[in-house]
Structure 1
Amino acid sequence: MPTTTNHPRQGERDVYLFREGTHARLYDLLGCHLGEQEGGGARFAVWAPNAASVSVVGDWNGWSGGADPLAPSPDGSGIWHGHAPDAAKGDAYKYRIRSHHGNYTVDKADPVAFCAEPPPATASRVCDLAYAWGDAQWMATRGQRNALDAPQSIYEVHLGSWRRQDGHFLGYREMAHQLAAYVNEMGFTHVELMPVTEHPFYGSWGYQTTGYFAPTSRFGSPQDFMYLVDHLHQQGIGVLLDWVPSHFPTDEHGLGFFDGTHLYEHADPRQGFHPEWNSSIFNYGRPEVRSFLVSSGLFWLDKYHLDGLRVDAVASMLYLDYARNHGEWVPNRHGGRENLEAIDFLQTLNRAVYRAHPDTVTVAEESTAWPRVSRPTDMDGLGFGEKWNMGWMHDVLAYMKEEPVHRKYHHHKLTFSLMYAFHENFVLPLSHDEVVHGKGSLLNKMPGDSWQQFANLRALYGFMWAHPGKKLLFMGGEFGQRREWTHDGELEWWVCEQEGHGGLQRLVAQLNRVYRGAPALHQVDFSSAGFEWVAADDADTSVFAFLRKAGDGSPPLLVVSNMTPVPRTNYLLGVPLGGHWQEVINTDATEFGGSGWGNFGGVDAAPVRAHGRRQSVCLTLPPLSTLILEHVAR
């Protein structure tokens, strides 16, 4: 029989914070913890306030419900706890819960489990999180790398389909060395992992999460995942995690109807069921649920040294009528459609993250014009550090899909983003969402023959890397995979041997090198002081020209995009400084698969007025290209 004395870590303060919704480290209080009592075994604790009885069933007791019962805490917190002396590392287990409400008994996975059985099995596993980290140097300096004035070029990765070995998944440790070498070769500063939180359905890509404290066992153990993060850090690469507090699946072993009641989700389907994803919505108004989610977010930063969280589907959390028709949602207490409880949760989360880990970053995937997403909570903001610029993504892809002859009628799609570019701390995303569900690959979105498609994509990348905002590119986009992404199999690495694909890959690597080395391209991303139009209204030729400026007084960069296949010679542009302007990027260079038009490496400014400036340069603009030129003092 288990020991049922009062929980050794459960004090009055824990209960108070749990009930207040601000407990940020529930993983110390709940779940399975090895070796904390004499005689070995493990301590178990689970929140199930409406249970009539709870027991731990697992490998060590033959899955017998009477062998290891838990006892309710006398403080009324709804936490059940106890010690199972025979539980050992690696054992599978669940909680057998009998509810007060009807004849309901169910075996549930541990909501705070640190490890799970490989799917399709659904039990939790007894494990520990012991690991000897080797990334002290990274951790001491990562605040500089995540700062708003630092270069952030993010490579978004789905671990199950980036690379495989003979058709099989790579483990976290195998992935570590291959991924780090490639990311460094390509010059990206961070990787963003699509959700690794445990999920029963591989085809959900991790967005249907059941294990909010467990990395998926498909690729190895918790220590194996720590090794992946550790190695990336030691190679100078930051690691962001895609994290999903917006909904959870209805699998029986998961959080739904946990103790015979709607504990984590709303009981009313107008609030608790997500019609778009056929999943459950968290009850953000319940303090204990907020504590659970805040603790999950902090857990990945505390225990896995992750450098930030990209929070998925924030818009679905903010609006009560998201994906619902009239009469299918419940207004807030003021009669509006804003989810006041979700707003409070997001603010609580961001305060907790930046209080505990001010050198990390939280990023919102928020697809509407909700105000102040990336502004501090004391300024009535949501408190995120950054926000995906979904408007820029939609506009720029819509523009690039147009045949060049028609682009002059859509010129505003590339200029409009500068009307709001500094309202938030934006990341420019070309993510997995743009290359799935019949949308086609980025390359196949481009018009024209094969050469023009590559040229268009090269021009787009040049424009993107020079545009204000941090950068994010989904795997495969860097070499122009033609096939739409699928989670089954791996990327089409073999095409990199072909000229167009290989050239595009070399361009992205060079863009990253220039971006990281040029303060003008990243120091002042979120203020109009870092940007100035030179030519914004030349719709007839579909030419765009602007300056990017640094915050340290270094010279600006001149960026020029020609979005038609017509080379333009003697194109006059005003510049702020005389002297030589040197090409540092020409997306039409032959090494990138282009036609080789250009300016022989650079041009000298002349004292000829243009665009309100005393000096100007006379450029040759290659077809379907972006040029980036830097001023060189002589």
Structure 2
Amino acid sequence: MAVPTSPVSQEDLYLFHEGSNFRSYQLLGAHVLEVDGRQGVRFTVWAPNAQAVRVVGDFNGWQGEQHKMERVEGSGIWLLFIPGIKNGDIYKYEIQTAEGQVILKADPYAFYAQLRPETASVVYNLNGYQWNDVKWQSKKKKTVNQQPLLIYEVHLGSWRRGENNAVLTYRELAELLPQYVAAMGYTHIEIMPVAEHPFDGSWGYQATGYYAITSRYGTPEDFMYLVDVCHEYEIGVIVDWVPGHFCKDNHGLRQFDGTALYEYANVQRAENKGWGTANFDLGRTEVISFLISNAIFWLDVYHIDGIRVDAVSNILYLNYGREEGDWTPNPYGGDGNLEGAAFLRKLNEVVFAQRPNVLVMAEESTSWPMVSWPTYSGGLGFNFKWNMGWMNDMLRYMEIDPVHRKWNHHLLTFSFMYAFSENFILPLSHDEVVHGKKSMLNKMPGDYWQKFANLRAFYGYWMAHPGKKLLFMGSEFGQFIEWQDHESLDWHLVESPMHGKLQEYCRRLNHFYQQERSLWEVDGNWQGFEWIDCSDYTQSVICFMRKSISPEEMLIVVCNFTPIVHYAYRIGIPAEGFYQECFNSDWEEFGGSGQKNIGILAAEGKAWHNQSHSLEITLPPLATIYLKKIKK
């Protein structure tokens, strides 16, 4: 027999409606607990415009008459405790709308859901897992800007597959993925969205269950185990998070109680026609509680180390992806979504107040100012922003035949004009290797050898450019075809010489990056970077320095984006002394031609490139080299 009332905190209810309950997942949803000595589940749901709400499931033959929920007085919250319901039982809410229509909805706060194509929520107690990452949590540093950050972006369903193309479970992935990522020298993995979603082809970016880890790969405890093992290997875990829009499947959030509840009531603002989704109403306080609580939930419950906020531009702009006349300006006549910007500021203030050591990164593709600046100085409060401008310019540049690159030299250098306006991540993500854009390797011009040489040179430049780094899976060994989400990466390619050598190059480059403080310690201002020469467009060569906080830590970077070897190429250097080539993308073990600078290079007193001294070096074809000052 159902028990109509089960006390919930009036303060929690008040804060939820105020938009300040940042752990509302402890209030709403299905919670296994004991009331008056009886074990059962308390169901709580927000449906303010419903006439009636009933809990239905296998336990009552999907007939809700015996399990009618009671509206909490003065609130849009419905509540019911049902004894005897247990972990693993499936359920939905049967909602009678104001018009008398009866609809079935999954629980917005459910912690688990049925495997697609089934759509019911699953009662799940998340308190059973014993974490083993105390050491990792104690090591996490607040000064993330001055630490190496090298992210490996992963789609769990296609990184590897098992027999008969079966997806690997979270636990199977835990035996393979963290070990590989650590061996390759990455500091973090970024997992494409793992919130429950109905359509595989959305890659998780169109969710129905924001609090439910997708059941495609296992249970919540299985995912916790994967995160735990990553932490054992000292690999941080970032998840993609989508607070801007959600899918319109009937069992999901859209028209939840028969009215626009989670989405805008204004159809023009609610409909995201470009993606076929609905936009969250970011001016509604209960929606703010729902979303910010969800960000905290991933950090609290799954020990996630960061979130990458997807499609921030869709949150910030009223006219994003819309035709003229299909949007209404804000009260000041502009195209900025004031509610969206306020939501993002509040999100970041709450997250960093509670978890100062986490990463909150914005995938933001426009010139909106101060995205990664603190909110107290007028910024949005993220600690990093994806540098989409750099990515677009450089991929365009690299696809140009080297003969014509000299006429496009600005694409190579323009990013340095704004490199320190934000705390940037330089992303080479999944979006760049799908939908006809070609894989990273296949973007490169030239014959077979030149494709690999171009990519190695590009990666060397990318690693030395100010900003943290992100690379999509498969790009480290030269996946030739575009990414396919329904099958494994082509791991067999690693057995062929050039692909294996590219993988080894990326491994060595990653570890070099982690060991070389000048490549990451001062990423956010000009103190960590100095041009030597940016104007040799005729030969498509650039040369610059990266510097650490310590004056002794300095690296000289020279990039040659043509297939011509330059012998006795003179570069300016800031001081006398002895230098040595410490890394070269053209080394033979990486598949290169073997052009290199052997032994010790002595600086000459000949001024060059506005520097007091200079060196003559051999500059390999389609290559990036690093030089370092050494003791005599």
TM-score calculated relative to the size of structure 1: 0.98
Deviations 1:514-554 (A, max 9, x none): 11001100000011110000010000010010000001333
Quick check: 587-596 or 57-66, which moved more?
57-66
**Matching residue of 1:63:** 62
Distance in 2, matches of 1:359 and 1:351, equals 13
Residues 68, 554 of structure 1: alpha-carbon distance in 2 compared, 3 angstrom cutoff:
farther
Residues 601, 447 of structure 1: alpha-carbon distance in 2 compared, 3 angstrom cutoff:
farther
**Matching residue of 1:247:** 245
Q: Secondary structure at the match of 1:495?
A: helix
Distance in 2, matches of 1:106 and 1:566, equals 68
Quick check: 2:517–2:553 contact (8 Å CA) kept in 1? no
Quick check: 1:582–1:602 contact (8 Å CA) kept in 2? yes
Q: Secondary structure at the match of 2:125?
A: coil
Which aligned pairs between 1:256-405 and structure 2 lie closer than 5 A?
256-405=254-403
**Matching residue of 1:108:** 105
Deviations 1:365-387 (A, max 9, x none): 00000000001111111110100
**Matching residue of 1:2:** 2
**Matching residue of 1:203:** 201
Distance in 2, matches of 1:476 and 1:512, equals 15
Distance in 2, matches of 1:185 and 1:281, equals 40
**Matching residue of 1:492:** 490
1:581 positional shift: 1.7
Deviations 1:182-208 (A, max 9, x none): 101110000000000000001100001
Quick check: 2:51–2:100 contact (8 Å CA) kept in 1? no
Distance in 2, matches of 1:98 and 1:218, equals 31
Distance in 2, matches of 1:291 and 1:409, equals 52
Match for 2:284: what amino acid? R
**Matching residue of 1:191:** 189
Q: Which aligned runs of 4 or more in structure 1 are off by greater than 6 angstroms? A: none
1:106 positional shift: 0.8
Deviations 1:342-369 (A, max 9, x none): 1111111111110111110100000000
Match for 1:393: what amino acid? M
**Matching residue of 1:456:** 454
**Matching residue of 1:417:** 415
Q: Secondary structure at the match of 1:264?
A: coil
Distance in 2, matches of 1:160 and 1:173, equals 13
Distance in 2, matches of 1:108 and 1:602, equals 71
1:248 positional shift: 0.4
Distance in 2, matches of 1:480 and 1:579, equals 38
Which aligned pairs between 1:82-121 and structure 2 lie closer than 5 A?
82-100=80-98, 102-121=99-118
Q: Secondary structure at the match of 1:363?
A: strand
**Matching residue of 1:54:** 53
Residues 58, 430 of structure 1: alpha-carbon distance in 2 compared, 3 angstrom cutoff:
same
Match for 1:62: what amino acid? G
Distance in 2, matches of 1:200 and 1:103, equals 27
Match for 1:400: what amino acid? M
**Matching residue of 1:563:** 561
Which aligned pairs between 1:125-204 and structure 2 lie closer than 5 A?
125-130=122-127, 131-143=129-141, 147-166=144-163, 167-204=165-202
Distance in 2, matches of 1:547 and 1:284, equals 44
1:498 positional shift: 1.2
Quick check: 1:22–1:348 contact (8 Å CA) kept in 2? no
Q: Secondary structure at the match of 1:501?
A: helix
Distance in 2, matches of 1:503 and 1:593, equals 6
Identity of aligned residues (%): 52
Distance in 2, matches of 1:293 and 1:590, equals 51
Distance in 2, matches of 1:606 and 1:149, equals 34
**Matching residue of 1:122:** 119
Deviations 1:2-44 (A, max 9, x none): 2122x53322x22332222122101000001112322111111
Residues 20, 501 of structure 1: alpha-carbon distance in 2 compared, 3 angstrom cutoff:
same
Quick check: 1:580–1:604 contact (8 Å CA) kept in 2? yes
Distance in 2, matches of 1:321 and 1:296, equals 26
1:46 positional shift: 0.4
Distance in 2, matches of 1:531 and 1:36, equals 61
Q: Could you tell me which of 531, 535, 538 is aligned with 2:536? A: 538
TM-score calculated relative to the size of structure 2: 0.98
Alignment gaps of 5+ in structure 1: none
Match for 1:39: what amino acid? R
Q: How many residues get paired?
A: 629
Distance in 2, matches of 1:584 and 1:165, equals 40
Q: Secondary structure at the match of 1:67?
A: helix
Distance in 2, matches of 1:121 and 1:237, equals 34
Distance in 1, matches of 2:46 and 2:531, equals 57
Q: Secondary structure at the match of 2:532?
A: strand
Q: Secondary structure at the match of 2:260?
A: coil
Question: What is the aligned-residue RMSD (CA, Å)?
Answer: 1.0
Deviations 1:475-514 (A, max 9, x none): 0000110000010110000001112111111111111111
Distance in 2, matches of 1:463 and 1:41, equals 59
Quick check: 1:579–1:604 contact (8 Å CA) kept in 2? yes
1:601 positional shift: 5.0
**Matching residue of 1:518:** 516
Quick check: 1:558–1:630 contact (8 Å CA) kept in 2? yes
Q: Secondary structure at the match of 2:247?
A: coil
Q: Secondary structure at the match of 2:283?
A: coil
Deviations 1:456-483 (A, max 9, x none): 0000000000000000000000011000
Q: Secondary structure at the match of 1:40?
A: strand
Distance in 2, matches of 1:526 and 1:565, equals 32
Q: Secondary structure at the match of 1:115?
A: coil
Q: Secondary structure at the match of 1:41?
A: strand
Match for 2:565: what amino acid? P
Residues 516, 601 of structure 1: alpha-carbon distance in 2 compared, 3 angstrom cutoff:
farther
Q: Could you tell me which of 14, 22, 25 is aligned with 1:24? A: 22
Distance in 1, matches of 2:621 and 2:600, equals 17
1:602 positional shift: 4.9
Q: Secondary structure at the match of 1:452?
A: helix
Match for 1:605: what amino acid? A
Match for 1:433: what amino acid? D
Q: Secondary structure at the match of 1:66?
A: helix
